[in-house]
Amino acid sequence: MDPSLVPNVVLNSGHKMPMIGYGTGVVPLPPNHELLTVFIAAIEAGYRHFDTAAYYGSEEALGQAIAQALQQGRIKSRTELFVTTKLWCTSTHPGLVVPALKKSLERLGLEYVDLYLIHFPVRLREGVKGVKYSEGDILPIDMKGVEMNVSWQQENMRKFCKEKGIHVSGWSPLGSKGSMWGSNAVIDNPILKDIAISTGKTVGQVALRWLIGKGVTPIMKSFNNERMKQNLQIFDWELSEVDLERIEEIPQHRAFQGERFITQYGPFKTMEDFWA
C-alpha cells in the first residue's frame, strides 16, 4: 500500500503521526534475524509508524531494519518514519530517564525518536509512594499504552482525552489472541464476524476500522505478510450506523490486568488501586 494513503494526525507538538502503527512487542521474542525480516516486510507493506520499547527487546532489530531499508532504497529518508519507544518502569527516576533514552537510541542506531513514552506511570522499586495529582491535572498517561478494542472500548477514557486535547493510541486492537494475557474476544466475536461477511472485509479490518472511526490510532501487530497488507486497507470505507450500534452491544472486559504491579510493599496493593 502507498504509505501516502495512510492519514496522519497532528499531535500537540505539531508533528504528524500516521494513523496506524506497527507494534514490535512479542512474547517469546524471536531471534533478531527473524524480527529483521518481519520489520522489513512491514516497511515494504507500507507501514511508516513503528512502536517499540526497551522492555520489548526489539529496538535493535527495528533499528537494523530501518538501516537496511534506507540502504536498499525502500525508504529515502529517516524522516519518512515515525518511531516510538518507551521508558520502562525501572528507569522512571528523574536521574535515569536520559541514560535510558540514550541506551534506546544506541540500540536503535538512531539520532532521535519521534515519541518517547513512559511505558506505565509507575516505578518498580519498593517503598516509592505514588505521585499525587491535583484536580484538573492531565495525567501523564502513555496513550499508546491504553488497551482499546471493541471488547474494551474505553468510552470514558476517550471522552476525557478528547476534552483535554490528547490523542489516543490503542494497543491490543485485535485482542492479542495467543498472548499470555490476550483472548479471542475480538477475532472470534460473532457480531464482528457478521459485519465482516456483510461488508466483504476481514474481522481484523472491521475491528481496526472501528478504532479509526473513533479517532484512535491502532497499534497492530502481525507477522503474516498478507494480514499486514489487509490491516492497512481500512481507510477508504466506513462502518454503517447500524454496524456501529451493534458493536456498542459487545460485552466489555479488560484483558490486561496489570498483576505485575500489585504488591503489598508498593502503592498498588489491589487491582482497584492500580486502575483507579
> Would you list the domain boundaries of the chain?
3-128+137-251
Q: What's the CATH class of domain 3-128+137-251?
A: alpha beta
pLDDT of 140 reads 40
Annotated active-site residue 22? The verdict is no
Q: Give the DSSP letter of residue 63.
A: H
Q: Would you say 169 and 50 are in contact if contact means Cβ atoms under 8 Å apart? A: no
Per-residue pLDDT at 273? 66
Q: Pick the closest to residue 240 from 213, 208, 202 (CA basis).
A: 213
Catalytic site residue from 55, 56, 116, 133: 56
144 or 171: whose pLDDT is higher?
171
pLDDT given for residue 228 in this prediction = 97
Task: Output the CA torsion sign for 38, 40, 46, 52.
Answer: positive
What percent of the chain is modeled with pLDDT above 70? 85
Q: How far is CA 126 from CA 30, 54, 98, 263, 270, in A?
A: 32, 21, 22, 9, 16
**pLDDT score recorded for residue 176:** 74
213, pLDDT greater than 90: yes
CA separation for the pair 114, 243 (Å, rounded): 35
Mean of pLDDT values over 17-28 = 94
CA 110 to each of CA 32, 60, 127: distance values in angstroms, whole numbers, following the listed order: 17, 10, 35
High-pLDDT (> 90) share of the chain, %: 73
pTM of the entire predicted model:
0.88
The beta-carbon contacts of 254-259 under 8 Å, at least 24 apart in sequence, are 254/147, 254/152, 255/147, 255/151, 255/152, 255/172, 255/175, 255/176, 255/181, 255/182, 255/183, 255/185, 256/147, 256/172, 256/181, 257/181, 258/120
The DSSP element (H or E) to which 206 belongs, if any, is helix 203-213
Beta strand 16-18 pairing with 8-10:
antiparallel
Does residue 198 register a pLDDT over 70?
A: yes
> What does the pLDDT look like over 45-62, one tens digit per residue?
999 999 999 999 999 999
Mean pLDDT of 55-78: 98
Q: Looking at residues 244-272, what average pLDDT do you find?
A: 79
Average pLDDT over residues 96-102: 97
**Average pLDDT estimate for 237-264:** 86
Q: What is the pLDDT of residues 149-197, one digit of tens each?
A: 999 999 999 999 999 899 999 999 998 766 666 678 899 999 999 999 9
Residue 119 assigned to a binding site: yes
Give 219's strand partners.
21, 171
